[in-house]
Amino acid sequence: MSPLVYHALVGFVVLNAVIGMVTYVTLLERKFAARMQSRIGPYYVGWPHGWLQPIADALKLMMKEDIVPRAADRWVYNLAPLAFLVPCILVFATIPFAPGLGVADLNIGVLFFLAVSALEIVGLFMGGWGSNNKYALLSAMRAVNQIISYDLPFIFAALVPVVLAGSLQLSVIVEAQRAMYGAFVFYPVLGQLAFVAFLVATLAAENRVPFDILEAESELVAGFRVEYSGMKFALIQLGEYAHMIATSFLGALLFLGGWLGPGPAWMGPVWFLLKAVVVFLVVTWVRWSFVRIRVDQILAISWKLLLPATLVLLMATALVVALRSTGGA
Amino acid sequence: MTAEAVAFVGVAVVLLGSSLAVVLTPNLFHSILYLAVALVATGVVFLLLDAPFLFGVQLLLYAGGVVTIVVFAIMLTERLVGRTIRQASRYLINGALLSVAVFAGVAGFLVQAPLAGARPGVSGDLTLAVGRALVGAFAVPLELLGVLLVIALLGALYFARSEP
């Protein structure tokens, strides 16, 4: 088998696995949220516990009418879901599920992840602008506002494990955590603080409650995707959930030791998925426990608290690593 | 033609086309979108030159960051204020002449320069080498750039202060 065919095949498998996972993560989230609110959640479509619900939802979205507003900027409006989805899916290319198991274990892995997911805002903006709808536009404005504010803390928090491991390659970062009881989150002080900062910035980057002002239902209907229907809406939802899962994967790789864990080697991917699900559920837990905060509070948290804190944290980590490598500490 | 040359021609066409579109589209918003395409294509050129680190930085800082900020600036001026700003490219002929002249000059230098051999192969971890260079041989220029950015930031603060 030529390497080209092999890589195409691996990419195809990972792509479909991701889409399947995204579909079922929606069910997981609905069930989890329902439990938190003493409900049952989806139950009747498929036995037991409505396990066919995501498939029913997908079929429903495929059969819906595709509406393009007459005043929309047609090209921009139609391309926006794709421009939004592609970066969200592309980041999975660099995620290793186990040693040697992944599409491409780039030596700039973390940088690739951060850079490509920064492109997502372009698609979001195209949707908000192209719809020619004031709610969508306001939502896109808020999104830009929020993403400018939270990109830097997110990057700084993600760089703490990078500095500790001395590499941008995700597999090297995971292997470096062997020395730290299998997870950088156990690193005294630095690890825990960085993980908390990472989680907060993740909430903001994923536009989840309490940072979901850009799709605040009570003021902006559904935010930047208010005009989208049918499959285009489904693509945007897919992109959003794919981004969520990708960030959970990143958190599991950077802070929780990825595939490291007790048991034989084949357990690696299982451990990795479990850790990613834990990160995802923590984020979901916060989502269903807190209320939305105001725009000025969101900006204040980022610029006055999170950004200086992560900057100091990063510099402290660099200092610790420098002292350790020269044998000073 | 090698695969690398084919890829370069493809990227070059996209880069030139989108760059022309940036200055020729009347719609300011479309112009920004073409700018995003042009910046990503520039990143791909870095990738073709075996510089994946620069590719990542280009995407993160320019395609992601700068486009965001430019779009933000448009939002504050255009639809929300109610005044539509069209981009009108005046002096098209002068601009075209100037760019042809610059191209001729650069091409002249390149033609006169001795033909370089094949690009030297990559050895070792380039990302590591870039990082070491930035804190080693190039530490002073890096710090100077940092000072320059701080000055720019202070200047922006000065202009943005509220008048008494």
Q: Place B14 in a pLDDT band, splitting at 50, 70 and 90.
A: very high
For chain B, what's the residue count?
Answer: 164
Q: Which stretch of A66-70, A83-87, A89-93 has the lowest confidence by average pLDDT? A: A66-70
> From A138, which residue of chain B is nearest by alpha-carbon distance?
B80
Q: Which residues contact A327 (CB under 8 A, 6 or more apart)?
A: none
Contacts of A322 in chain B (CB under 8 A): none
Domain-by-domain residue ranges, chain A?
3-326
DSSP state letter for A91: G
The alpha carbon of residue B140 is apart from the nearest alpha carbon of chain A, in Å, by: 19
- Over residues B54-59, the mean pLDDT reads 87
Given phi > 0 = left and psi -120 to 50 = alpha, else beta, which region is A17?
alpha
Across chain A, mean pLDDT equals 83
The pLDDT tens digits of the residues spanning A58-73 come to 888 888 888 888 877 7
Determine, for residues B64 and A137 on separate chains, whether the beta-carbon distance falls below 8 Å.
no
Contact of B30 with chain A, judged by CB distance below 8 Å, is answered with yes
Looking at residue A329, its pLDDT comes to 44
Interface-testing mutation among B60, B123, B149, with chain A (most A C-beta atoms within 10 A)? B60
A and B: number of Cβ contacts within 8 A: 71
Fold annotation for B1-104 = Four Helix Bundle (Hemerythrin (Met), subunit A) (1.20.120)
The alpha carbon of residue A170 is apart from the nearest alpha carbon of chain B, in Å, by: 14
Interface-testing mutation among B29, B39, B50, B66, with chain A (most A C-beta atoms within 10 A)? B29
Helix (H, G, I), strand (E, B) or coil at A101: strand
Determine, for residues B68 and A148 on separate chains, whether the beta-carbon distance falls below 8 Å.
yes
DSSP lists the bridge partners of residue A101 as A98
Measured CA to CA, the distance from residue A133 to residue A69 in angstroms comes to 9
Helix (H, G, I), strand (E, B) or coil at A141: helix
Determine, for residues B64 and A119 on separate chains, whether the beta-carbon distance falls below 8 Å.
yes
Determine, for residues B52 and A144 on separate chains, whether the beta-carbon distance falls below 8 Å.
no
Contacts of A143 in chain B (CB under 8 A): none
Query: Judging by beta carbons within 10 Å of its beta carbon (0-12, 13-18, 19+), is residue A152 exposed, middle or buried?
Result: middle
> From A168, which residue of chain B is nearest by alpha-carbon distance?
B127
Determine, for residues B60 and A168 on separate chains, whether the beta-carbon distance falls below 8 Å.
no
Evaluate if residue A92 carries a pLDDT over 80: yes
Question: Which residue would you say has higher pLDDT here, A319 or B68?
Answer: A319
> From B129, which residue of chain A is nearest by alpha-carbon distance?
A167
Contact of B129 with chain A, judged by CB distance below 8 Å, is answered with no
Contact of B29 with chain A, judged by CB distance below 8 Å, is answered with yes
Helix (H, G, I), strand (E, B) or coil at B88: coil
Torsion of CA B1, B2, B8, B11, to 10 degrees: 90
ipTM of the complex as predicted: 0.78
> From A107, which residue of chain B is nearest by alpha-carbon distance?
B127
> From B67, which residue of chain A is nearest by alpha-carbon distance?
A122
Looking at residue B140, its pLDDT comes to 92
The pLDDT tens digits of the residues spanning A107-166 come to 888 888 888 888 888 888 888 877 877 788 888 878 877 887 888 888 899 888 888 888
DSSP lists the bridge partners of residue A98 as A101
The alpha carbon of residue B104 is apart from the nearest alpha carbon of chain A, in Å, by: 35
SS3 labels along A236-295:
HHHHHHHHHHHHHHHHHHHCCCCCCCCCCHHHHHHHHHHHHHHHHHHHHHHHCCCCCCCH
Question: Which residue would you say has higher pLDDT here, B137 or A102?
Answer: B137
Contacts of B33 in chain A (CB under 8 A): 76, 122, 126
- Over residues A40-48, the mean pLDDT reads 82
- Over residues B70-81, the mean pLDDT reads 63
Q: Which stretch of A296-300, B106-110, B137-141 has the lowest confidence by average pLDDT? A: A296-300
Report CA A212 to chain centroid distance, whole Å: 14
Looking at residue A213, its pLDDT comes to 67
Evaluate whether B32 touches B71 at the Cβ level (below 8 Å): yes
Measured CA to CA, the distance from residue A255 to residue A111 in angstroms comes to 16
Measured CA to CA, the distance from residue A311 to residue A65 in angstroms comes to 48
The alpha carbon of residue B100 is apart from the nearest alpha carbon of chain A, in Å, by: 32
Interface-testing mutation among A119, A124, A149, A303, with chain B (most B C-beta atoms within 10 A)? A119
Measured CA to CA, the distance from residue A54 to residue A61 in angstroms comes to 11
Looking at residue B18, its pLDDT comes to 92
Q: Which residues contact A90 (CB under 8 A, 6 or more apart)?
A: A116
Helix (H, G, I), strand (E, B) or coil at A98: strand
Determine, for residues B59 and A148 on separate chains, whether the beta-carbon distance falls below 8 Å.
no
